[in-house]
Amino acid sequence: MENKELLKQVREKAQEWLSETYDEETRKEVQSMLDSDDHTKLIDSFYRNLEFGTGGLRGIMGAGTNRVNKYTIGAANQGLCNYLKKNFADLPQIKVAIGHDCRNNSRTFAESSAKVFAANGIKAYLFEDLRPTPELSFAIRELGCQSGIILTASHNPKEYNGYKAYWDDGSQIVAPHDVNIVNEVSNVKVEDIKFDGPDDLIEIMGEEMDEKFLKMVKTVSISPDVVERHKNMKIVYTPIHGTTVKLVPAALRKFGFTNIINIPEQDVVSGDFPTVVSPNPEDEAAMEMAINKAYEVDADLVMASDPDGDRLGVAVKNDKGKYIIVNGNQTALIFIYYIITKMKEAGKMKGNEFIVKTIVSTELIAEIARKNNIDYYDVYTGFKFIAEVIREQEGKLKYIGGGEESFGFMPADFVRDKDAVSSCALMAEIAAWAIDQGKTLYELLQDIYLEYGYSKEKTISVMRPGKKGADEIQQMMDGFRANPPKSLGGSPMEWVKDYSTLVAKNLITGEETKINQKVTSNVLQFFTKDGTKISVRPSGTEPKIKFYFEVKGELKLRADFDEAEKTADTKIEAIMNELGL
């Protein structure tokens, strides 16, 4: 039965969008929703206000308080302006940097945003055209800005757009600024938004920033001699219609690689993503064209990045001649293993290095750190939390890498967000290093498992769109909290970690300990006696709940790898069945 009170509330909110304050196109769209007998779209568009999640503001484009449009983005900008003016009142000129990706309306939203900042007396540095997210992060630091934004919905389908807000260190905004900005935004009425700022406070950025960025990307290289020996290795790369169409190939060339093979159809910059259903390198379908090209040319490495250029996908040829996608955990393992190994070989380890991973990522990263006497930190999902650790340790410890399972890595701290540009170039160097040893990247990954232990990971996303879906997701979390599983995969449950209370409880002994995190988060983790880890987390940016599985296994010989994979897959499937997935 439809919730009459909810419908009444959303109708009242929608009626406000029929005033002359809103443009004609918006008013027509809202009126159409109000006139429709099907109230689903009306409710989904107005039942809440878009909120900042792990990736900022993100949603489907259209009219409404729960949609991405000129007004919701305008309110975010105005709220951010108000907050910046309070925090940096002593500065003669507050500055922000603005970027955008390839999505439909992104340029329009970026230009409109620049006007809002200018109208509030804030100088706006606006990229001349689309640029990847890591370059925006870099530009904030390079220009000495107090903040920055990028208009993007990352890897989401074409209907989406979004808005990421950054602080003066080039990191996405964290506590207390995130909550404070949300409060500022919530107090902004549409008539408060200053849309028409002067052009003289808007400065366009172009190739000069690209060159500065690429110069820093080149410093990520650890073994230029290895690249020189294998500079002609075959690299297939696709930007999947996105922002890295120029910069990733440029970064590869900066490193010294000469044989970069592109996919012309996917070099076409388009917010419609005409060759894929979803431009997400985590999805095999998104990398299908690149993998087909790899078979055609017998490539040594296949790489892709998402539309805003922060995530990278990697495919390598296995021992049977088939190209397989390396998952995000494995990508992070390869990066961390390479960086530590080569730095130790070069005598560059000073004893003050650290790495960062997210709590849902593989525990093998922590194992590599422990065995190499490297400090490591566990943080919540989102690179803003990795950047927060870097900021806290700046001047004391040296950051050498950090990543998460969702195909993101940050190999250096001149960028404070996921960086597919630097990561693609470094991954190509690692592939060259493997060739230098007479190996493939696939065999290099096996080497890591043989040295540090074997584990297998899998992530499942359960989509639940709209208000009804949000309620269902919360009910699932409530159910897991009230009745945690007693065992999983044939192993008794040992620990349950609830990040909403920051309490870890041993179900066998009853012992309770405090989880070392600054703020709470709606995440649950289950640990069994045999080392299995399951994390459950509603997405902060999409209408879904995610389940992260990691199971341990035995691998003593390279020849046993396929059997270890099969055994782990069977165990994960059994656990999924136990959880009703």
Last residue of a domain, one of 452, 479, 495: 452
State how far the Cα of 281 lies from the Cα of 463, in Å rounded to an integer: 18
State how far the Cα of 163 lies from the Cα of 150, in Å rounded to an integer: 6
Do residues 141 and 250 both lie within one domain?
no
**Which whole-number Å values give the CA distances from 95 to 92, 130, 302, in the listed order?**
10, 20, 39
pLDDT of the residue at 294: 98
With cut-offs at 50, 70 and 90, classify the pLDDT of residue 30.
very high
pLDDT value at 34 more than 80: yes
Q: How many domains does the chain have?
A: 4
Pairing of strands 123-127, 202-205: parallel
State how far the Cα of 242 lies from the Cα of 219, in Å rounded to an integer: 24
State how far the Cα of 445 lies from the Cα of 494, in Å rounded to an integer: 30
DSSP secondary structure letters along 334-393: HHHHHHHHHHHHTT---S-EEEEEETTS-THHHHHHHHTT-EEEEE-SSHHHHHHHHHHH
State how far the Cα of 167 lies from the Cα of 80, in Å rounded to an integer: 10
Contact 547, 533 (CB under 8 A): no
Residue 577 dihedral angles phi and psi, to the nearest 5°: -65, -40
Phi-psi region of 64 (alpha: psi -120 to 50; beta: other; left: phi over 0): left
Nearby residues of 451 by Cβ (< 8 Å), 6 or more positions away: none
pLDDT value at 562 more than 90: yes
pLDDT value at 80 more than 50: yes
Contact 238, 289 (CB under 8 A): yes
Do residues 446 and 518 both lie within one domain?
no
Contact 103, 153 (CB under 8 A): yes
Do residues 439 and 304 both lie within one domain?
yes
pLDDT value at 467 more than 80: no
By residue count, the chain amounts to: 581
Helix (H, G, I), strand (E, B) or coil at 317: strand
Catalytic residue numbers, as ranges? 154
Do residues 272 and 304 both lie within one domain?
yes
Residue 476 dihedral angles phi and psi, to the nearest 5°: -65, -45
Question: Residue 441 is encoded by which pair of tokens?
Answer: 């990247």
Nearby residues of 55 by Cβ (< 8 Å), 6 or more positions away: 154, 162, 164, 172, 382, 540, 541
pLDDT of the residue at 543: 80
Q: Residue 112, CB half-sphere, CA atoms under 13 Å: how many?
A: 19
Q: What is the CATH number of the domain that holds 310?
A: 3.40.120.10
With cut-offs at 50, 70 and 90, classify the pLDDT of residue 1.
very low
pLDDT of the residue at 49: 84
Helical pair 70-87 and 106-119, crossing angle rounded to 10 deg: 40
Q: Which residue segment(s) compose the domain that 287 sits in?
A: 213-452
Q: Percent helix, strand, coil in the chain (nearest 5)?
A: 40, 20, 35
Contact 269, 281 (CB under 8 A): no
Question: How crowded is residue 200: how many other Cβ atoms within 10 Å of its Cβ?
Answer: 8
Nearby residues of 181 by Cβ (< 8 Å), 6 or more positions away: 52, 79, 80, 83, 165, 173
Q: By C-alpha distance, which of 231, 288, 237 is closest to 267?
A: 237
Q: What is the mean pLDDT of residues 250-275?
A: 98
DSSP H or E run through 436: helix 420-436
pLDDT digits (tens, 9 = 90+) for 363-419: 999 999 999 999 999 999 989 999 999 999 999 999 999 999 999 999 999 999 999
Do residues 412 and 542 both lie within one domain?
no
Contact 519, 430 (CB under 8 A): no
pLDDT of the residue at 468: 83
Do residues 43 and 54 both lie within one domain?
no
State how far the Cα of 25 lies from the Cα of 182, in Å rounded to an integer: 27
Do residues 67 and 179 both lie within one domain?
yes
Do residues 35 and 166 both lie within one domain?
no
Do residues 59 and 167 both lie within one domain?
yes
Last residue of a domain, one of 435, 452, 469: 452
The mean-pLDDT minimum among 126-140, 166-180, 313-327 falls in: 166-180
pLDDT value at 54 more than 60: no
**Which whole-number Å values give the CA distances from 110 to 23, 99, 128, in the listed order?**
18, 7, 10
Helix (H, G, I), strand (E, B) or coil at 581: coil
Residue the block writes with tokens 């159809």: 265
Question: Residue 95 is encoded by which pair of tokens?
Answer: 């500055």
pLDDT digits (tens, 9 = 90+) for 530-547: 999 999 999 866 788 999
Do residues 408 and 505 both lie within one domain?
no
| Torsion over CA: 391, 282, 274, 424 (sign) | positive
pLDDT of the residue at 164: 94
Nearby residues of 46 by Cβ (< 8 Å), 6 or more positions away: 10, 13, 14, 64, 65, 66
What is the per-residue burial (b if ≥16 Cβ within 10 Å, else e) of 332-359? bbbbbbbbbbbbeeeeebeeebbbbbbb
Pairing of strands 375-379, 353-358: parallel
The mean-pLDDT minimum among 43-52, 125-134, 310-319 falls in: 43-52
The CA radius of gyration of the chain, in Å to the nearest whole number, is 24
Last residue of a domain, one of 405, 425, 452: 452
Do residues 257 and 387 both lie within one domain?
yes
DSSP H or E run through 566: helix 561-578
The mean predicted confidence, pLDDT, of the chain is 95
Do residues 464 and 398 both lie within one domain?
no
Q: What is the CATH number of the domain that holds 534?
A: 3.30.310
